[in-house]
Amino acid sequence: MHKNIDSRKLGGISEEKIFELVERMDVRGPRYTSYPTVPVWKSDFPSQPFEDTLKRVAHDGKSIAVYLHLPFCNKRCLFCGCNSYITHDRERVSRYIAAIEKEIEKASQLLEGRVGCQWLHLGGGTPTHTPPDLLAELLDFLLARIPTVEGAELSVEVDPRVTTKEHLSLMVERGFRRISIGLQDLDPLVQKSVMREYSFEQMSEFIALCRATGFTSTNIDLIYGLPHQTRASWLSTLEQVVTLRPDRLACFGYAHLPEKTKHQRAIDATALPEARQRLGMLLDSNAFFTGKGYDAIGFDHFALPEDKLSLAQHNGTMWRNFMGYTDIRGLEMVGFGASSISEFNEIFVQNLIIPEDYNALIEQNNWAITKGCNLTAEDRIRKIVINDLMCNLVVRIPAEAYHSVGGTLESLRQAIATLKPFEAEGLIVAGNSGEYEVTEIGRLFLRNIAMPFDQYLPNQTGVNFSRTI
């Protein structure tokens, strides 16, 4: 254990007790970035509900979120589980950009210019692997058809190794102010083992460049559980990163799924940290960053107290979707590009994953939908329960449930009754109005606490979920 940090306790519970709890309760389960979860969605989902929903959104006239998926990367990072493809072929990228513009045009015709964008996010892949001129063309095409509203948030995920000042400048010129930078780890041996090499000096210079160019909010992504990581090396990374004073941090646990993600087979599984080391890194992250003045968001994110996420969590209004945590509750989202997901009140829709398959359908003036889900009234209520838990750390029956038909209200009450063992373990505490609040140690088990509210989970067999902790 590093001498400058004491992570032996979390919420007054000893580290040994935490290890014992995790060993008993660490199971496989959904991440609950959506509800119903993706394995429940149906293949061959028809396009008509999607078109009808876009028309309904146009009629409502409310602002929306927009997600653009740019799947191409310069180099393969072995830990990556994203929908990404390595290419240096400009024509391949150009064809994809043309297809995504065609999809945007098709959707914007149904939106009739009646909605604005309140949150725009670029993900991937590596959005800034796109040549600057093509990226500028795409953004201008989108913003001409779905313009941003006053106060809109525009954010982007980047690999600092390929992101140029030209990329940064063109995004700032179009209103981007939040940037999420993939760092993962600073130890040279760890970086080499996952093919993601980048020094602290380079990172420091890149953060300074982002801020000088006009980005006002920086997020740094870190990953624990990578090969050759130790608690001491991980803490060394944290100590260096915090000197950069990012506004937000994300500490994701590496999910080693070589049977699903082929390039992960190149990782030496014998070099992965054992379970207690891995959990220790998560505990060290929590102790270290909260000790440096950051608020814990969910169980693996951190934000400065004045950040919008911290304020939203304190106010009980935080929400999340496939783009991440947000202070804007219930914002409907349209996704463009291969594998992108659209999230509306009544449906989820996901596009084809492989870019060339996506291109082919879009070029034929079709939608590229591969799967989707119609949400029932009960689904929407359970979604609120699970999102409130995962975001605002509270279990409560929403007002909508008291006006529902059928057995939804009683079913939720029965699910809440099953939480008693979590209360006995000190993971949740009962409030005055029948709700439960999640304790500091309970943050580690948010996915476990959510699972009793998932009515589809008992019938899901053959799904290889990641471990909950």
- Is residue 197 within 8 A of residue 220, CB to CB? The reply is no
Instruction: Return the amino acid letter for 251.
Output: C
Which residue among 342, 373, 404 closes a domain?
373
Name the token pair of 32: 């609950």
* Domain shared by 368 and 380, yes or no: no
Which residue among 309, 344, 373 closes a domain?
373
Give residue 6's pLDDT: 43
* Domain shared by 155 and 46, yes or no: yes
Long-range CB contacts (within 8 A, 24+) of 363-370: 363/99, 363/102, 365/102, 365/106, 366/47, 367/47, 367/50, 367/51, 367/103, 367/106, 368/103, 368/338, 369/45, 369/46, 369/47, 369/50, 370/43, 370/45
Which residue among 349, 373, 397 closes a domain?
373
Placement of tokens 């919008």 in the chain: 308
* Domain shared by 228 and 113, yes or no: yes
Give residue 8's pLDDT: 43
**In angstroms, rounded to a whole number, what is the distance separating the alpha carbons of residues 142 and 335?**
12
Give residue 142's pLDDT: 98
* Domain shared by 275 and 336, yes or no: yes
In a domain, 462, yes or no: no
* Domain shared by 395 and 284, yes or no: no
* Domain shared by 172 and 244, yes or no: yes
Three-class DSSP category at 429: strand
- Cβ neighbour number for residue 292 with a 10 Å cutoff: 15
**In angstroms, rounded to a whole number, what is the distance separating the alpha carbons of residues 286 and 301?**
9
* Domain shared by 363 and 442, yes or no: no
* Domain shared by 298 and 401, yes or no: no
In a domain, 464, yes or no: no
- Which H or E run contains 206? helix 200-213
Q: Which domain holds residue 406?
A: 376-456
What is the C-alpha R_g of the chain? Answer: 22
In a domain, 82, yes or no: yes
Q: How far is CA 211 from CA 121, 216, 301, 461, in A?
A: 19, 6, 21, 48
* Domain shared by 251 and 333, yes or no: yes
* Domain shared by 366 and 389, yes or no: no
Per-residue exposure over 386-407, b if at least 16 CB sit within 10 Å of its own CB, e if not: bbbbbbbbebbbbeebeebeee
**CATH code of the domain covering residue 450:** 1.10.10.920
Q: What is the pLDDT along the chain (469 residues), one digit of tens a residue?
A: 333 344 445 667 788 888 898 888 888 888 898 999 999 999 989 999 999 999 999 999 999 999 999 999 999 999 998 899 999 999 999 999 999 999 999 999 999 999 999 999 999 999 999 999 999 999 999 999 999 999 999 999 999 999 999 999 999 999 999 999 999 999 999 999 999 999 999 999 999 999 999 999 999 999 999 999 999 999 999 999 999 999 999 999 998 888 888 999 999 999 999 989 999 999 999 999 999 999 999 778 999 999 999 999 888 888 888 888 888 887 999 999 999 999 999 999 999 999 999 999 999 999 999 999 999 999 999 999 999 999 999 999 999 999 888 899 999 999 999 999 999 999 999 987 778 999 999 999 999 999 999 999 998 877 878 777 7
In a domain, 301, yes or no: yes
In a domain, 468, yes or no: no
In a domain, 323, yes or no: yes
Total domains in the chain come to 2
Backbone angles phi, psi at 159, to 5 degrees: -100, 115
Placement of tokens 């014998």 in the chain: 270
* Domain shared by 166 and 314, yes or no: yes
**CATH code of the domain covering residue 314:** 3.80.30.20
**In angstroms, rounded to a whole number, what is the distance separating the alpha carbons of residues 101 and 286?**
42
* Domain shared by 224 and 158, yes or no: yes
Give residue 1's pLDDT: 34
In a domain, 5, yes or no: no
In a domain, 17, yes or no: no
